Structure 1
Amino acid sequence: MSNAAANIDSKKPTTKQELITVNIKLLIEQLEAGHSEALTNYLTAMSRFHNYSFGNVLEIARQMPTATRVAGFWTWKNLGRSVNAGAKGIRILAPIVGVRRKKDEEAQKDITKQNERVLVGFRNTYVFDISQTNGVDLPELREVSGDPGENIDRLAAFLEAQGIQIVYNPKIAPALGMSYSGRIAILPGQTKAEEFSTLVHEAAHEMMHKTERRTATTKTVRETEAEAVAFVVGKAIGLVTGSASADYINLYHGNASLLAESLEVVQQTANVILAALEPPVEDRATEPQTTEADAQLAEAA
């Protein structure tokens, strides 16, 4: 049992702030434990995929709008999958890199840099989407599970009141959500738990990173903070997160010390979102003595 879990058993959190603090400690423990097996497998698989230029991304989207993961014929082979017979490849441009020798006088100045790699042109090559292949399943990051109940609607109402529009757009795949300063796009087809977690993550970006803080932080910091808020809020309403948030943060090279530096803004943001999820006063007046908040605290324990 983790130290945070032991602390919960010995002293149950009785306030929303205590609940936030306990869950942040739990996330820090997961990060300090290092990469989970799920993350290691995921990174191993993803490291074998090429990084595609903006132009090639547009080409892939034009030829196969539904594509989510693409790789070359032999890359799929190395991943234990085979391209289906008769599958039509997606044409992209691959760079042709040559070597240019420096002049003798230049080479003498720095013998370690006698030659330099230069782009000499492009050639056609073909990749295939995962839907065009068959074989072993690729590893996936662990998913969030549970039932967020009415919290999705309450969060959506809160964001709408802040002037933030929510749209569902399949074109953002493979991203689950995107934040656009006043508009959040969500990938349709997620489970309710995943959708809620994604919405909290993007809401955190809107609340924390669309001001002057954006220029004062790195992408690693921003993703760590947003996912930490998603973890805290998700745990507070009873979702089962496992190591999903720690995996996500590690994927962006975030860590426990970085999160510790962001604790204040994470706590403040999580507190605002959790306050927005509380039932209206008239609803609470008709609820039984064991309130939703009590149930959430008991679930966290």
Structure 2
Amino acid sequence: MSNIATTNNLTTIDSKKPTTKQELIAANVKLLIERLEDGHSEALTNYLTAMSRFHNYSFGNVLEIARQMPTATRVAGFWTWKNLGRSVKAGARGIRILGPIVGVRRKKDSEAEKDITTQNERVILGFRNLYVFDISQTEGVDLPSLHEVSGDPGKNIAHLIAFLKGKGIAVTYTDRIAPALGTSYGGRIALLPGQSKAEEFATLVHETAHELLHQTERRTAITRTIREMEAEAIAFAVGKAVGLVNESASADYIHLYQGNASLLAESLEVVQQASSLILSALEPVVTEEGTRSFEEAA
């Protein structure tokens, strides 16, 4: 039986059915394809925007947040909001995500004797429903913003170049690549000088995406058009996260999959993973007591 249900002319996922990561992703990707085929191109934009805001969450949970509340900007559990001095408003409907059920596996005595500090290890036994709430569903003390929203990437260009240097990828500037704004050579990125800071950052993220995704065996597994669209999607998500306005993001590459949900899911997941890696390099992880625990592992 399908996990997709129709209620009041709105397509939704039966929240009682997807109980594993695979089921959750499959149901959301199927819904995404259906909405795009019906002309709702904002469905992909909503997902990429959620990706920019929740890069510490898993692929499946980002899909869930984007589907249930596209306008969400910052989510946490009921008691986490309490600890932060805010309360969930009466009647607020939680956003369902999957969280792991964590158990402890005791090591064999022979293994434990080798290292007494790690006698036991935590393992994921399964998944359960968790509910988080967006900050708009709460009230209380004001919280500091996660980053300044502006059209200037600020120090993020330097941070990204440092990240690339740590991976052995050099960044150079040369007019010889004109009219291209940037190129990726596998271990080296060249940028066209004279771009605005916003354009330079977006170009650098785009070429970083190629270095992370498309200088491996994946390069021969997908078309050049899909490679470019994946890099653009990553540039959109990362740019959105640091406050840049980017109207060039396109949902066109979705249609290149001709309804093949598994290929689409693979493409979106690598986009999410690469965006998460880049965003983690740009800013320190925001830690709040109890916020992350194992929720993001689902």
What range describes the TM-score normalised by the shorter chain of this pair? 0.3 to 0.5
Q: TM-score, normalised by structure 1?
A: 0.45
Q: Which has the larger radius of gyration?
A: 1
TM-score (norm 2): 0.45
Higher helix proportion: 1
